[in-house]
Amino acid sequence: MKIVVIGGTGMIGSKLVARLGEQGHEAVAAAPNTGVNALTGEGLAGALDGASVVIDVSNSPSFEDAAVLEFFETSTGNLLAAEEAAGVGHHVALSVVGTGRRPDIGYFRAKVAQEKLIEDSPIPFSIVHATQFFEFARRIADEATDGDAVRMPPVLFQPMAGDEVAQNVARVAVGAPLDGAVEIGGPERFRMDEFFRDALTAWNDPRRIVTDPHAHYFGAEMREGDLVPGDGATLGETKYADWLASGAGR
């Protein structure tokens, strides 16, 4: 099949393009740096010509509330219209575990708006709700740093390897449309403060973890269970310690 990956040159997108290509599909990396921009509509019609499946793993360059909402509403609207015109039979979107639980968080609210556009479209669809990726752990720690302290809430946290995100999204994309959502997550469940305490030790990072129930994540205080999948989720096999030991986290 011809499968177009929107955001196909990014971290997850590039893994998807490689994996689908290895499976024998014509995987097209569509992104602004390849001449395809879902936000402006540039290049969409040409990229989608003959496509059976479109996978959207793009992300907003700004996480500011209004900007991220505008990005997902505009780019998704453009993309769905172009898919309908091209006769695409399956729209797959990567989203976030917990989006519907926290409409007070701007990024989650924007993803909910994206998902509603997809659900209301006539195009058969599948939505993959993923937990946080191992690859973003250092950035999360950096954004939570105050002096030599890293403030983390003691809520549940179940991150997963980007390779396994791509593996699951690819599996969904080549299957029949779900017209619904599935959840995926990592194989281990931690407390967020404990995860990052162990991570800093593994990184030989001198910063210290401060457990703070009021610490912000995605700009808001998190509640127990906000960031972990429910029963029936598909779980990866790669543990964070093994992922680090493989050199993937450098």
Q: Report the distance separating Cα 122 and Cα 118, nearest Å.
A: 8
Per-residue pLDDT of the chain (250 residues; tens, 9 = 90+): 999 999 999 999 999 999 999 999 999 999 999 999 999 999 999 999 999 999 999 999 888 999 999 999 999 999 999 999 999 999 999 999 999 888 889 999 999 999 999 999 999 999 999 999 999 999 999 999 999 999 999 999 999 999 999 999 999 999 999 999 999 999 999 999 999 999 999 999 999 999 999 999 888 899 999 999 999 999 999 999 999 999 887 6
Query: CB–CB of 7/31 below 8 Å?
Result: yes
Query: CB–CB of 109/167 below 8 Å?
Result: no
| Residue bearing tokens 């997963």 | 160
Q: What is the DSSP letter of 114?
A: H
Q: Report the distance separating Cα 222 and Cα 216, nearest Å.
A: 7
Intra-chain end-to-end CA distance of the chain, in Å: 34
Query: CB–CB of 11/61 below 8 Å?
Result: no
Query: CB–CB of 92/58 below 8 Å?
Result: no
Closest C-alpha among 12, 96, 221, 13 to residue 4: 13
